[in-house]
Chain A
């Protein structure tokens, strides 16, 4: 190594300097901080724990993700339907001719009281039946009691019954109604048949 480097002046030999931080740099910093405050006001959602990117404030979240009350049950039902029912009854609710009956505009779905519907979803359905004048019975509907909660069944039935796109218009189903039926048929291991359902009052 160059010996002259090692004999370099130490701190004590250096001349004291009168340099300071340039004012414009401080001004720049203050301006950037001001920009930061404005930016935060626009983008930061004011510390709300509900505002996530890409949304910037609570109003936007509400506008793009409506929720609350019965609407929630309907939205939950949409996702339950998309995961569990869509494979057979199809996304448009029309089913598959001769195999899976339609839910759209079905007289079963639009019954004022949901007792029979809840039983169908809880315990499943088999054997010949008529929906909108067509005969079905080739396939069996599996029971969903083990995999769906009362909340989810109430939601999916609410979604099906109140789906205006499908021409359905019937009252919502509550988780309490599902729970009551679940208790009544707790011992059942066989799917229902259409005649059996017709013998039960829909309100029960």
Chain B
């Protein structure tokens, strides 16, 4: 295997792919570069929040460093600072690459990225200042949401135009999923903003809308965007056609139809028909899951297709081997595994008794981390590690560090998800035995999870290290690329002047 992320041989489609990559350079540098910084910042504050759980006096003097602000700030930085821009940048590049067309209006997309990041900055400062909306996963205040809206509009519109102008007219599964994600986020975010912040709904409707938004964002949107990247890697990096494309599209539509209704806990204090519908939707979501498994498993297990025109067979590796033979592919493959596990667990948790068992415990948090980090973040890391060197036109400054980041990320997230899931189940079983053990107070039970929380803090440290490595590698890459281009521009300018001097 060659050095991870190396781009030595990139004659993808001759001149075209280089030109396409170059057209994406400015927007992707803005989107990916700042995203990497937000990610590092997010894990710093995430670590602080995690430490506060077992050492409550840690950094408790200043109001802005209290848990109630640090945690939402860290989560917002992750979701809005990292995940969304990274997914948007990836979508743009994939649309351009598959469509064999350059990015439409790179400048406006980059401007949109800048505006979006300004919105995130305003939002995060707002959260630290205590202006949070109070709704989890959308804490950033209204003024930030306005900036986010216009930023997204600029990016989204020109990404759509890029898709529209594609020279290869076919729409594949990858594009379907990414397109759905591109539409789903603005629809749920603006609806939730309007109904919760601008013209707040009254009473139980508020909680219902908020649950709806959270599930649609952290489960559905995250699934669409992440799967889009997974499909791109399978089809265009590992180079394997999907086993059954119509089935994948069927999975897309059924998840839009059913998963979008999930997320309201079974015992929620709202009129019973709402959680009941949510439970039903959760159970029926087994259909898209089966469909996806039926697409992915045979596709990944199949060995190389024998060449039709008698060309020589170079290897007999399965698509899974091909996918996992590079570090970016391995990141995406790990993400895919996490996705499937998370979905199965979510299905089981849709059963009301199970839902009631694990509610209010660390288990639900572990599950959401499995989805948001182990699946989405790892997948997006894979995309960034694949795309950035191509767009920059040079290899990673420290290719070995890419592999190191892979291990830090995988071990780090495992140290968060596994202990917290175990601790959560322990917590849940203690809550369930309260009837026979009345001496078990909520606080005693919560204290029982402290060891698990300490382990998860170690996981946070590993993730933080990984994020610093990613940011360092990416920013250095961008700086080198900029320097090389400046030098080249200078050279050609000088050469022109010289020829001009020689001529007369």
User: Taking beta carbons and an 8 Å cutoff, which residues of A are in contact with B?
Assistant: 1-12, 14-15, 17, 19-22, 25, 28-29, 32-33, 35-36, 39-40, 43-56
Contact = CB atoms under 8 A, between A and B. Distances in A.
B273 A51 contact: yes
A51 B284 contact: no
A21 B295 CA distance: 10
Contact of B284 (A3, A36, A56): A36
Contact of A53 (B5, B243, B275): B275
Interface stretch (B42-50, B245-253, B435-443, B494-502): B245-253
B271 A48 contact: yes
Given A5-B238, A11-B170, A36 B280 contact: yes
Interface in B263-319: 266-273, 275-277, 279-280, 283-284, 286-287, 290-291, 294, 314
Nearest to A4: B314
Contacts of B240: 8
B239 A8 contact: yes
Contacts of A49: 271
B236 A8 contact: yes
Interface stretch (B9-17, B124-132, B366-374): B9-17
20 contacts: A5-B237, A5-B322, A6-B9, A6-B237, A10-B168, A11-B168, A11-B235, A15-B241, A17-B245, A19-B243, A20-B244, A20-B247, A21-B247, A33-B284, A35-B280, A43-B279, A45-B272, A48-B273, A52-B269, A53-B267
Contact of A21 (B5, B11, B246, B314): B246
B253 to A, nearest CB: 10
Contacts of B244: 17, 19-20
Q: Is the interface on chain B under 10, 10 to 19, 20 to 34, or 35 or more residues?
A: 35 or more
Contact of A44 (B243, B276, B294): B276
B268 A8 contact: no
Considering the complex of A and B, which 6 residue pairs feature the smallest CB-CB distances, nearest first?
Answer: A8-B239, A3-B9, A36-B280, A19-B244, A44-B276, A14-B241
Given A6-B9, A25-B291, A44-B276, A53 B268 contact: yes
A7 B5 CA distance: 15
Nearest to A48: B271
Contacts of A3: 2, 8-9
A56 B272 contact: yes
Given A29-B284, A45-B271, A8 B238 contact: yes
A18 to B, nearest CB: 9
A43 B314 CA distance: 59
B1 A2 contact: yes
A110 B325 CA distance: 89
Nearest to A33: B284
A32 B276 CA distance: 14
A5 B326 contact: yes
Contact of A51 (B12, B239, B271): B271
Nearest to A49: B271
Contacts of A56: 272
A11 B240 CA distance: 9
B427 to A, nearest CB: 21
A6 B10 contact: yes
B10 A40 contact: no
Nearest to B251: A21
B268 A45 contact: no
Contacts of A2: 1-2, 325-326
B334 interface: no
B287 A29 contact: yes
Contact of A32 (B268, B271, B283): B283
A28 B258 CA distance: 14
Given A5-B325, A43-B276, 9 more contacts: A2-B325, A3-B8, A5-B326, A21-B247, A28-B290, A32-B283, A40-B277, A50-B271, A52-B270
B315 to A, nearest CB: 8
A12 to B, nearest CB: 7
A3 B1 CA distance: 10
A55 B272 contact: yes
Given A19-B243, A32-B287, A36-B283, A1 B7 contact: yes
Contacts of A45: 271-273, 276
B246 A20 contact: yes
Nearest to B13: A10
Given A1-B6, A29-B284, A19 B276 contact: no
Contacts of B141: none
A42 to B, nearest CB: 9
Nearest to B171: A11
A204 to B, nearest CB: 43
A29 B290 CA distance: 11
A98 to B, nearest CB: 34
B393 interface: no
Nearest to B385: A1
B277 A44 contact: yes
B98 interface: yes
A46 B7 CA distance: 60
Contacts of A15: 241
